[in-house]
Structure 1
Amino acid sequence: MLQKKTKIVCTLGPASSGMETILAMLKAGMDVGRINFSHGTYEANSALLRNVRGAACALGKSVAVIQDLQGPRVRTSNIPKGGLTLRPGEIVTLSLASLSPSQKKNQEKLKVFQVTYKKLDQDLSRGKIILIDDGLFKLKVLYARKKEIKCRVLSGGILTTGRGMNFPGSSLGLSAITAKDRKDLEYGVKLGVDFVALSFVQSAKDILDLRRLIKFYENRLNPRTKIIAKIEKEEALNNLGEIIEASDGIMVARGDLGIETDPARLPLAQKKIISQCLVAGKPVIVATQMLDSMQENPRPTRAEISDVANSVIDHADAVMLSNETATGKYPVEAVEFMARTCIETERSRYDDIIYPSRPGNNDLSPVPALSQAACLLAASLRAKVILVTTRSGFSVRAITSHRPNNSLVAALTSSPNVYRELALCWGARPYLAQQFSDIESLIGYGLAQI
């Protein structure tokens, strides 16, 4: 089987918690495990990490683990078990305080429910739109005053408690890092995750705040745990450059991004984010509903396969599976289909970067300049391998950002952390090496591993 260059991130959950399933997913093409801390207990999530580490060790494969923090999600609350029926044209009240006994008794008649963010009235104004449950419900704000918000229902249905809420065009005064996130982060850092994904990032400040916390929890000046910024808000798109610079990687979180912004702009936003990450040499993941139908079906739709292929053509470092592998019926098959699609697309000319037209930042400092020269030389010689030694992973990311189409990037490192981190890097095949006293011995070891 051909070596896949685009990496696959798999969300772990009840459908993929066992060692045998994780082993099968790794063999099928999984490179990174994602643990969503919105769900599961600490005990269950730590068991997932142990199984990933154990399976990776058994196969001798570099595998990274991402801890995904929940972030400041606003949800519906205190809705009766049978749900609340909202019809287009009706007036509904969002209460920021506890419901009175009368309101609870007549909740269906009064069309009132609570929300979890108690200062929402300060951030919304007349005419703003509220979307609930991935946009299935659409409300228009009539007015927002202390402790309540009146809205007109534009599209409705039966609303239940715990549904996520989005506020396109409105900037909420919520911190990107909640009290739950702080607790989860401390646990994840001590557990030894490789990356932390931060939800609802709006600016570089959110990343810097998270990095300070990681430094504190790791109790070291140069923190080991790396940060992935999830781009899912309009503010993040507006501040994309500074967020990429402050982060160690980016996730195109298309679920919320397609709700917070005009969904018709989503494909172009994806291309813009990937392009800027490519120039910066930062890994970028494309996520959400890539093979969504495989939660229930053994085969993906044609549109889903095309979505994966187009992300490869866009030059994403990684593509991600969410519910497909966390709770779906066919987790291993989903990885197999995604891997096959990546390989077939990579074999084509459509994902090739043609020199010297690659977009760049004209950085002539030594590592970027040498990296570009190495890729040009490898292309000219049709070299099968570019052998790179690295302590931090920087030189490997610099080379792979040029997407050498026909060359394997063999990355030798003595750092177990870097060995795992490079599992997220396009085209890199990491090898854990000992320290060598001379370059000839190091090269000899590297060639023997390939």
Structure 2
Amino acid sequence: MRKTKIISTLGPAVEGKMDELIKSGCDVARFNTAHGSVEGHLDMYKEFLEASEKSGKITATMLDIKGPELRVSACSKNFVIVGDTVTIGDDGDIELNHPEVYDVLTPGNRVLIHDGDIVMRVVKIDPIIHAEVLIGGIIGPKMGVNVPGVHLPIEYLQERDKLFLRKMKNVDFVAASFVRNSRDIVELKSFMKDLNMHSKIIAKIENQEGVDNIEDIIEISDGIMVARGDLGTEIPLENLPRVQKYLLEMAIQHGKPGIIATQILESMIRNPHPTRAEISDIANAILDGADALMLSGETAVGKYPIESVRILSKVAEKADSLAEKKSLIELRGTLSESVSNAAVLLAMEIDADALLVLTRSGKTARLVSRHRPSTPILAASPFPEVVHALALNWGVTPYLIESFEYSDEMVRKALNVAEERGYVKRGDVIVIAGGEPRSVSGTTNFVWVQLVGEVIARGNGFGEKIVHGKICRIPRKCDIVLLSNIDSSEQPENVRGIVVESDTYDPSLLREISRRGISILAGTGTLNVENEEVTLDPKRGIIWK
């Protein structure tokens, strides 16, 4: 089962195909406000939710706001060549959508257009800005502009962002573009609070300023996205791999999701197959610690949107096994972190079939996820917003349960739903972690181990095989024979299992019988389970139905 999550940008390419998109592997739908109208995005939002409900899969939605994005607003020169001198400013050859930027440009600053396809250097200001073209090309309105190393004095939230936030306030995540510092997140949070909006905030890191302030940014955000397009323009390209690893490491340390975006399967916008380099890039991003990978043009406007998701899902599933950790690196900190450490370690030590997290805030599941355990992670919560938010975390399968009052009750409900959905089966050993319902939300304060099913008896096991079948006291009439005692003169034949009620038995005799492939459980005490279907597990020393 794939553990790395997939974010798909919605656009014309997937309209009417949401069912296929989700089935092929989409976990989170992204709405890119840089393109399209509010009405158009709302239509896709509704279509995606309907398809998600129909599929029965837990998915999430993400609104990507533009933030202080710098673009070409108008240009009188549509083509420039190396050596040309162009003017930047009001009534200049190139006009920008934020005129306040003109005041902070100085000679020597580089101005990059369209992801660095065009590069200019400011040579003088008198008072209009004169820039020499270092790399030429075609210039058009709405093309993105980067000024590496310069703090842009632009208010973080733009009017278009506010409009989208008002109209799409029920999304699970808001991806905040061009976050420069924690003050940008505070501004966004304040606006969302006024709207009574509770979406999680993903800070998109797209410039050196964001990288420099990552400690404060990640502290106040709910996750980060390494947006490699603009980031690779703002910083030297050769530094991008190191920065990617650093940012994902920071996300893991803080127990928050880290996303890798831009050019994941760029070639599949036009071609039915990816490049080998893209496949390796995907695997390396997962090995670096990415919780999720985001497709942009591939699913929004590409020729092969469904195929892109399907291929990414296959590659990610293979890479996940390499990302799984076989040993625990202890993460010190709060009580919740210590208990989460213990849960993961216990699951590995006993080779548990699943690790079930009972959570009201999602924190425990995120803390468990950052260990990247090979054990499947299930997260049960009574709150839809928590369940949908966990659709973004590596390895977490979230699902809804009814509200709970006591620990025993919530465990029972969570296991029943997990069994109904096929996440666990009778006989599975589950490590359970969570917080008492009456404790503070976000606090993990218990861990225990439980078997799925009703345990009938425990005893000392002999043999290797788990045996399932009918139990009775007459040999040859059932799969598992129930005996009050056993000695060397009475050794049942043609059975697959033996249960000995007495605690007075000869271990050497039982070991000898078990070498014939018969599983044995001894010392159970008197049982009243004749002619019932049961399962005998000699390794765990239990019998259950």
Aligned pair 1:275/2:275, yes or no? no
- CA-CA distance at 1:283 after TM superposition: 0.7
Task: Note closer, same or farther for the CA distance 1:418–1:382 as it changes in structure 2 (3 Å cut).
Answer: same
Aligned equivalent of 1:341: 315
Which one has a larger percent helix, Structure 1 or Structure 2?
A: 1
Q: Is the 8 A contact 1:315 1:351 kept in 2?
A: yes
- CA-CA distance at 1:50 after TM superposition: 0.8
Where 1:119 maps in the other structure, the secondary structure is helix
Q: Is the 8 A contact 1:391 1:418 kept in 2?
A: yes
Q: For residues 74 and 405 of structure 2, what CA distance do their matches in structure 1 show?
A: 66
Q: Structure 1, residues 307-349: CA drift from partner, whole Å, max 9, x if none?
A: 11111111111011000000001111101110100111122xx
- CA-CA distance at 1:145 after TM superposition: 4.6
Task: Note closer, same or farther for the CA distance 1:120–1:437 as it changes in structure 2 (3 Å cut).
Answer: closer
Q: Is the 8 A contact 2:328 2:371 kept in 1?
A: no
Structure 1: stretches of 5+ with no match in the other structure: 100-111
Aligned pair 1:387/2:387, yes or no? no
Where 1:418 maps in the other structure, the secondary structure is helix
Aligned equivalent of 2:102: 121
Q: Is the 8 A contact 2:156 2:187 kept in 1?
A: no
Aligned equivalent of 1:418: 386
Which of 88, 109, 122 is the equivalent residue of 1:94?
88
Aligned pair 1:23/2:53, yes or no? no
Aligned equivalent of 2:404: 436
Q: Choose 1 or 2 for highest CA Rg.
A: 2
Where 2:157 maps in the other structure, the secondary structure is coil
- CA-CA distance at 1:356 after TM superposition: 4.2
Q: For residues 325 and 119 of structure 2, what CA distance do their matches in structure 1 show?
A: 42
Task: Note closer, same or farther for the CA distance 1:356–1:410 as it changes in structure 2 (3 Å cut).
Answer: closer
Q: For residues 118 and 378 of structure 1, what CA distance do their matches in structure 2 show?
A: 58
Q: For residues 144 and 382 of structure 1, what CA distance do their matches in structure 2 show?
A: 68
Within 5 Å, give how 1:157-172 maps onto structure 2: 157-172=137-152
Where 2:226 maps in the other structure, the secondary structure is strand
Which of 303, 307, 320 is the equivalent residue of 2:281?
307
Within 5 Å, give how 1:74-153 maps onto structure 2: 74-79=70-75, 84-95=78-89, 97-98=90-91, 112-146=93-127, 148-153=128-133
Q: Which amino acid aligns with 1:297?
A: N
Aligned pair 1:261/2:242, yes or no? no
Q: Which amino acid aligns with 2:39?
A: E
Q: Which amino acid aligns with 1:36?
A: N
Q: Structure 1, residues 173-226: CA drift from partner, whole Å, max 9, x if none?
A: 11221122122222221xx111111111111111111111100011xxxx5211
Q: For residues 284 and 335 of structure 2, what CA distance do their matches in structure 1 show?
A: 33
Q: Is the 8 A contact 1:121 1:145 kept in 2?
A: no
Aligned pair 1:206/2:184, yes or no? yes
Q: Which amino acid aligns with 1:86?
A: V
Q: For residues 344 and 212 of structure 1, what CA distance do their matches in structure 2 show?
A: 41
- CA-CA distance at 1:163 after TM superposition: 1.3
Q: Is the 8 A contact 1:176 1:198 kept in 2?
A: no
Identify which range, 174-183 or 319-328, moves more after superposition.
Answer: 174-183
**Percent identity between the aligned chains?**
38
Q: Which amino acid aligns with 1:22?
A: M
Q: Which amino acid aligns with 1:199?
A: S
Q: For residues 145 and 15 of structure 1, what CA distance do their matches in structure 2 show?
A: 47
Larger RCO, structure (CA 8 Å, separation 6 or more): 1
Q: For residues 438 and 242 of structure 1, what CA distance do their matches in structure 2 show?
A: 37
- CA-CA distance at 1:24 after TM superposition: 1.1
Aligned equivalent of 2:49: 53
Aligned equivalent of 1:108: none
- CA-CA distance at 1:417 after TM superposition: 0.8
